[in-house]
Structure 1
């Protein structure tokens, strides 16, 4: 039975009020007009207006913080919380005005259908984007040498969870496959309910990881779970009868829209094919391209990758204090495919997890090693040192650190990280 053939259903007042609120809320959070980046000036002026509204709302109503921090890789900044507060406020105000102006409406069956379709396809797109990138094991990468050398206690909870998932490629691929399966089930009308149950399980797990490990995507992950619950609510009675009361239920007809004219059916199929082609093919291609960029062909270098112990460190021919938090001394050095880190307190490097990070470039002709750091969008050379290789396991560096002379000797360490082995045992005689 399609929507046109149903008897007119009179919604209770509370349901109409809730629908009005949710319609405005989902429209503002998903912002479909922001997808049209090709329209001249539209994204620019919309973003400027919206940013002004968020700031105005925060200054006069919400007071999240005095100065808002804009999204910067974190999706839970003060700006994001002020934004969600504004959306809830506008949704409530819009709901009140809409309810006063449309009190005679019996139901919103057709509008609810389109809202469900809209949010469902948003859920599909999100699941495909995050699922496919996990199929290539790109979202959380296997711990590199820098991370393996960082003491466990120095990690923030988010980074700990990233290493936990990135360690096991099969687990990450499995979690991505479940997101893709949920998306594919949501594409077909007869499997929408199964797809929603699958998506709810998947995104609830993601939400709990974000909440429990302080991963700064809490707002977005809660939004995805909320969308799943909203869509499942349309099937609430059927699900309650089937799972709780153990009663037979009729087939779902929430998505049976009357496409009576032939051109409407053709347009529907064409749009769906375009969506599937774009969402699947483009995401698979972009993820594959990113995979190739992240796994370039290895080239031989004079200086080998690895962990190096610092056997000698002299600044102006003197040895600085080694075991102080702000010591300029190097205690160990890791070199790995153009990126490096040093256990040091020297703020010349980008400090993270008690290590100083940098990129490096090897000039084989002049035997120079350039240490580089990105700062405010630009890359600077912070050290340029001459290197010597007395043997295959030793590196001698010399040059200037500012006005001071610097001499460092590195010995390739024999330290072995068990976590780097990707161990797996069917038979485990001991609790290791």
Structure 2
């Protein structure tokens, strides 16, 4: 946490007293530690670890969100938003799926302000103290397990692919219509071994952070992994920039006290002195018990994040249930009230209802919806259910399935042909669809080759 902490035992002259204590910290080191203890320790790591532990023991999500809201310092954050940043709209503290909301950025600024004031007051009131070695050791425990829990969770949803999941509609979506984040997610999801390897690196870093003896290795691996994640978030506009930046900061804070020792090993070829970090307790017995407690906490985080990753994998990840009509289907015939509607491309109208026009294709992927691709190649997700027993397809106007948009019965005279007949809104609609073999797509068919006579960049 403190970048200027002396991590080597002081070298004494023969005239030094054998009982002389460790060297005092530099004044700048003490101030930096006070600021980092409040901002990274209390404002960041404590919130992460508490939220993860509450979820792991089954505390209702509403209660966990209430704790997170309280940690965002709403009165101070609201005041800064209105009076300093000129934000007129009320801040929303409910989760939106984005980690870069205005609220979260202003809340981070609030914690910077609180940490700066706290460090100043702490410096005035605690001026005689020359170091915080034991508090530094305890704060490292907090940072280690907060970071380890986050790394394990993000690693689990990659090892059991659910963070980046292959979506069938990406095969027919024009590349230029994808967002930068969509490109990144699709590229990673296109290779499960690559995604799993990324997850293994994050889980490995988290496991190394559990034991005090391997913290430096874990912090080094975490720094490399989080630097890459932060770079990708910045360059592909992924809305987790603030969170990944804090993960990188925690990694660097854990690595910093060993920076001099690492430099000695890597650049001078000499052996580094052992770490002189202060033990958590004054007795060997208490420190042994603390080591056992840390191992048990690490195992708890490993098991609970694995269970959470397993649930995500089967709920919305690669192991999620597929639609009974899984595939990409081209609409070859489309009639309304018995009148054939030819596939004519009309003038684009951004206000038109995409479900009211003749689609080019229908993509059945997950069990909770489908994608309609218009003649202009625009894709629209529609909540839908397929009942193979009754052979019906029901479309809804809302994700909750409360407002019905249309209902079709379907026939499947051949495995690659569908006939839909029913209502869409107030219209009687009939469609004939032919399935596109997925092997037609190079991304699916190409596979892996040890030898290639020429590169394939089609």
Could you state the TM-score of these two structures normalised by the residue count of structure 2?
0.81
Task: Tell me, yes or no, if structure 1 residue 28 matches structure 2 residue 39.
Answer: no
Counterparts in 2 of 1:364-383, with a 5 A limit?
A: 364=388, 367-375=391-399, 379-383=402-406
User: Contact conserved, 2:335 with 2:430, CA < 8 A, in 1?
Assistant: yes
User: Contact conserved, 2:9 with 2:275, CA < 8 A, in 1?
Assistant: no
| Higher alpha-carbon deviation: 116-125 or 28-37 | 28-37
User: Contact conserved, 2:393 with 2:407, CA < 8 A, in 1?
Assistant: yes
Cα distance, 1:144 vs structure 2: 2.9
Task: Identify unmatched segments of 5+ residues in structure 2.
Answer: 1-7, 11-18
Which of 297, 302, 308 is the aligned partner of 2:329? 308
Q: Which residue of 1 aligns with 2:384?
A: 360
Cα distance, 1:297 vs structure 2: 7.2
Q: Distance in 1 between matches of 2:30 and 2:405?
A: 63
Counterparts in 2 of 1:184-333, with a 5 A limit?
A: 184-254=207-277, 256-260=279-283, 262=285, 264-265=286-287, 267-293=289-315, 294=317, 295=319, 301=324, 304-316=325-337, 317=339, 319=341, 321-326=344-349, 328-333=357-362
CA RMSD in angstroms, aligned pairs only? 3.2
Q: Distance in 2 between matches of 1:191 and 1:181?
A: 11
Query: Which string of whole-angstrom CA distances, capped at 9 and with x for unpartnered residues, describes residues 275-294 of structure 1?
Result: 12211222223323443445
Query: Which string of whole-angstrom CA distances, capped at 9 and with x for unpartnered residues, describes residues 24-58 of structure 1?
Result: 10111223485475599897477358333322221
Q: Which residue of 2 aligns with 1:72?
A: 96
Runs of 4+ that moved beyond 6 A: 39-43
Query: Residue 282 and residue 79 in structure 1: after superposition, are their counterparts in 2 closer, same or farther (change >3 A)?
Result: same
Q: Which residue of 2 aligns with 1:349?
A: none
| Higher alpha-carbon deviation: 19-28 or 355-364 | 355-364
| Higher alpha-carbon deviation: 63-72 or 102-111 | 63-72
Q: Which residue of 2 aligns with 1:342?
A: 372
Could you state the TM-score of these two structures normalised by the residue count of structure 1?
0.86
Number of equivalent positions: 419
Cα distance, 1:311 vs structure 2: 1.8
SS of 1:340's partner is strand
Counterparts in 2 of 1:43-82, with a 5 A limit?
A: 44=66, 47-48=69-70, 50-63=73-86, 66-70=89-93, 71-82=95-106
The higher relative CO (CA closer than 8 Å, separation ≥ 6) is in 2
Query: Residue 298 and residue 8 in structure 1: after superposition, are their counterparts in 2 closer, same or farther (change >3 A)?
Result: closer
User: Contact conserved, 2:280 with 2:287, CA < 8 A, in 1?
Assistant: no
SS of 2:221's partner is helix
Cα distance, 1:137 vs structure 2: 2.3
Q: Distance in 1 between matches of 2:50 and 2:215?
A: 27
Which of 105, 110, 124 is the aligned partner of 1:100? 124
Q: Distance in 2 between matches of 1:112 and 1:319?
A: 73
Task: Identify unmatched segments of 5+ residues in structure 1.
Answer: 347-352
Q: Which residue of 2 aligns with 1:10?
A: 24
Q: Which residue of 2 aligns with 1:135?
A: 159
Q: Distance in 2 between matches of 1:291 and 1:94?
A: 43
User: Contact conserved, 1:189 with 1:255, CA < 8 A, in 2?
Assistant: no
Q: Which residue of 2 aligns with 1:412?
A: 435
User: Contact conserved, 1:322 with 1:329, CA < 8 A, in 2?
Assistant: no
Query: Which string of whole-angstrom CA distances, capped at 9 and with x for unpartnered residues, describes residues 133-153 of structure 1?
Result: 222223212x23212111111
User: Contact conserved, 1:62 with 1:85, CA < 8 A, in 2?
Assistant: no
